[in-house]
Chain A
Amino acid sequence: MADLSAPERSVSSEALLAHPDLWRAGRVEPNSRAVSTGYSSLDGLLADRGWPKAGLIELLSPRIGIGELRLLGPALATLSVQEQRWITWINPPHIPYAPALAEIGIDVGKVLLVHPKTHEDALWSLEQAVKSGSCSVALAWLDESKLTTKDVRRFKLAARRGETLTVLFRSAIAVQRQSMAELRILMQPASASDRLSIEILKRRGGWPVERLALELAYRTTHMTRSDLRDQLALWRTKSLRSVGPLPPPRLLHDPHPTHVGP
């Protein structure tokens, strides 16, 4: 006969929670196929610790030019160096300026610009680019009024298949619309320069995040006087080296003047 009065074997709640059969909603396995965003505070909020390398994300902004490229910049730079695949820009609203792209570390030799004439062609080009598997990143600016949920879903499936980081730049009005994207971020201009305020509308394994102020990775500076001096010095040595060895430096206050002025 079992002794009914014996106390039950006590099980601590910690041990119970550690049971391998128990899955807790807060625990999401990070996807190894991700590329760091370059912003540690943002990486920390994402389940994959970065942008998904094979997935669709949406960046929503009220207007172009508030810092969306600098937000993606570190990841683009990493992928452009790591992978021998295209970084495709479909329908960019302005000219991606090659000197600036090189400045932030993007290999411009891998940049492919596509300018389709119609919305249908743009959809087609994005899908081709993404599913072909020959692009590491595809960035697209599409006509918001004609974009349907079905299209977005197709891009998501294609992105998985082609292992492409697919980024849709959408207008802020798309906040109201449903989307299949794995990650949706709304960007707002911050109050200070070189900063961006973001709001994560949708992410894997977590609730939306209200507001996050990011210090953008690349500060906008211009050449200062000392920079200019350095540049000039560099230019001078370069131009002299091609002619012959550097002449001995002439001192400003020559202790043994070779000639005497009038």
Chain B
Amino acid sequence: MNVLWFCVELPALGLEVCARRMLHEDRPAVLIEDNRVVARNAAALDSGVAIGCSLATAHSLCHRLEHSSRDITAERERLRFLADAAYRFSSSVSIHEPSAFLLEISGSLRLFGGLYSLKRSLISLLGELGHRATIGIAHTPLAALAFARAQENCELPRWPEGSEVKTQSLKSLRRISMRHTECDAATVERFSNMGIDTLGQVFTLPTTELGRRFGPRLLDYLDRLTGQRADPRILITPTASFSTELTFLQSISNKEALAFPMQRLAHDLCNWLIGRQLGAIRIAWRFAPFNSNATAMEVEFAQPQQNKQALLSISRLKLDVLDLPDEVLSLRLASVRLAPWQAKSSSLFARTEHAGHSPTELIDQFRARLGDGVCSGIAANDDHSPELGWKSTVPRLQTTNARTKGPAVMGTLSRPLWLFDKPKPVLRRNLTLLRGPERIDVGWWTTPNVYEPAHRDYFVARHADGSQCWTFIDRQGEWFVHGYFS
């Protein structure tokens, strides 16, 4: 069977998770465990902060240092998110804690254009998400993991055969140092004391002797490493909804500063959506202060949305009019309603289509800034009474009246272009009647007294001020203007 495992190892996951919470990425930062520095970024390295030094030493070495203690839960969540994102490359993704995940990609090679093209795509995806990854490729998961840790590249062709992968992997495994295997530190040290540093040396030793000295766990590991024993993996099932939280190192008190973390979360969401072939219809932001009630903000889109810029611009408009807590300490973005994504094909030589702006985005913008009820469409309504002759609709760009064949230039107009909300009383002496009457019985069937029909006689009239009106006289002999033939 042709099996090919990719192992994605994230050597700096802890630090990268910490960096996501920082507002200034270029500041020196260290990761702390038990009051000791366990990882530091390039800026901290430049200041001379060493791994293993105490937090106080680190602070004395560089005064703008940001520190954060290691958050295993956040790292686990992030790893899970990244594995989800990698799901687009293969359906067999398995997480190997603490900082790696594995993909079985033999079935995806053809689709992604060969081994190296796939590897590049994977690295650039992770880079976009803010992570540095090393990738190992081998015929077993554990060998791939060892290669990823040792940053060892197997010399494989673009379209490798199963047997080729196996021989190449076994050959390269011999060079791998014991430090990069799954063996614990004590075992590695015992091997080292025996003068054994690489796996190649271990392979030459008799199995029974190894078993007696190091126990069956080592033998089991070696068998799975070389593929002599099956190594089944628990595969992930992609999550059904998106929800990610960012807790900041310092609380944020102005909306501009929130833009940056919001961008990060939106980026993650869009990546997740693309991986799942979904579009967001409704998303929810949650801005939480340290210890009081969080403020929620839901944003809805007229069409499923996958574009980060669109998601963000609409969210920002809504944020502008939102009352936030004084200090926001954590930010959460969750998907509320999702819909299958249907990519639109746009014409190649579109003249009137403007890049990045679809008609529904305008509606989303209006709704986000001005409120839900501010936009409406109109439609003709089949009703006899003038007031009910039109209706307000949900704006949806469409071609409605198929009868319309361009402008009816010398046409006639039987109804006014402007209709008043309520008819306005008018003095008869200001009106010059031009045409009419047209009797319209207005809703007598809805009035309580059916014996008194509410009919109106409509006239086209010219008002003394020069406007052309649609006027009527009711049964009481009162004159009203109901609209303008503007």
Question: Is chain B found bound to chain A in the same assembly?
Answer: yes
A contacts, CB < 8 Å to B: 38, 62-70, 73-74, 77-78, 80-81, 83-86, 88, 92-117, 121, 124-125, 128-129, 132-136, 162-163, 188-190, 193-194, 217-223
* B465 contacts across to A, CB distance below 8 A: 63, 189
- Complex Cα gap A235–B333 (Å): 56
**Does A102 lie within 8 Å of B404, measured CB to CB?**
yes
Q: Which of B71-79, B96-104, B110-118, B414-422 contacts A (4 or more CB under 8 A)?
A: B414-422
- Among B353, B381, B483, point to the contact of A94 (Cβ < 8 A): B483
A-facing residues in B468-486 (Cβ within 8 Å): 468-469, 483-486
- Complex Cα gap A97–B388 (Å): 10
Closest-by-CB residue of A relative to B352 is A83
- Complex Cα gap A113–B377 (Å): 6
17 A-B pairs (CB sep. < 8 Å) = A67-B468, A67-B486, A70-B485, A74-B409, A86-B362, A96-B418, A99-B380, A103-B408, A104-B407, A104-B411, A104-B417, A109-B400, A113-B392, A136-B352, A163-B352, A188-B466, A221-B413
B406 within 8 A of A: yes
B interface residues, tally (CB under 8 Å): 67
- Complex Cα gap A44–B379 (Å): 35
Secondary structure of the A contact surface, majority rule: mixed
Q: How far is the CB of B164 from chain A (nearest CB, A)?
A: 54
What 18 new A-B contacts, CB under 8 Å, besides A94-B419, A99-B389? A38-B409, A63-B466, A65-B468, A77-B404, A77-B407, A97-B417, A97-B419, A105-B404, A109-B396, A109-B401, A193-B460, A217-B407, A217-B410, A218-B413, A219-B412, A219-B413, A220-B434, A222-B438
**Does B418 lie within 8 Å of A124, measured CB to CB?**
no
B365 within 8 A of A: yes
- Complex Cα gap A193–B434 (Å): 8
* A96 contacts across to B, CB distance below 8 A: 378, 417-419
* A94 contacts across to B, CB distance below 8 A: 418-421, 483-484
- Among A95, A104, A124, point to the contact of B421 (Cβ < 8 A): A95
**Does B370 lie within 8 Å of A117, measured CB to CB?**
yes
* B359 contacts across to A, CB distance below 8 A: 84-86, 134
- Complex Cα gap A154–B290 (Å): 42
**Does B362 lie within 8 Å of A135, measured CB to CB?**
yes
Q: How many A-B residue pairs have CB under 8 A?
A: 241
The 6 closest A-B pairs by CB, nearest first: A189-B466, A133-B354, A65-B484, A109-B400, A77-B407, A65-B467
B contacts, CB < 8 Å to A: 352-354, 357-359, 361-363, 365-366, 369-370, 374-381, 389-392, 395-401, 403-421, 434-436, 438, 458, 460, 462, 465-469, 483-486
Q: How far is the CB of A219 from chain B (nearest CB, A)?
A: 5
Q: How far is the CB of A98 from chain B (nearest CB, A)?
A: 4
Closest-by-CB residue of A relative to B467 is A65
* A114 contacts across to B, CB distance below 8 A: 366, 370, 374-375
- Complex Cα gap A67–B369 (Å): 33
- Complex Cα gap A188–B465 (Å): 10
| Known A67-B486, A69-B418; contact A218-B390, beta-carbon cutoff 8 A | no
- Complex Cα gap A258–B419 (Å): 54
**Does A163 lie within 8 Å of B390, measured CB to CB?**
no
- Among A62, A77, A84, A222, point to the contact of B414 (Cβ < 8 A): A222
- Among A64, A98, A110, A221, point to the contact of B397 (Cβ < 8 A): A110
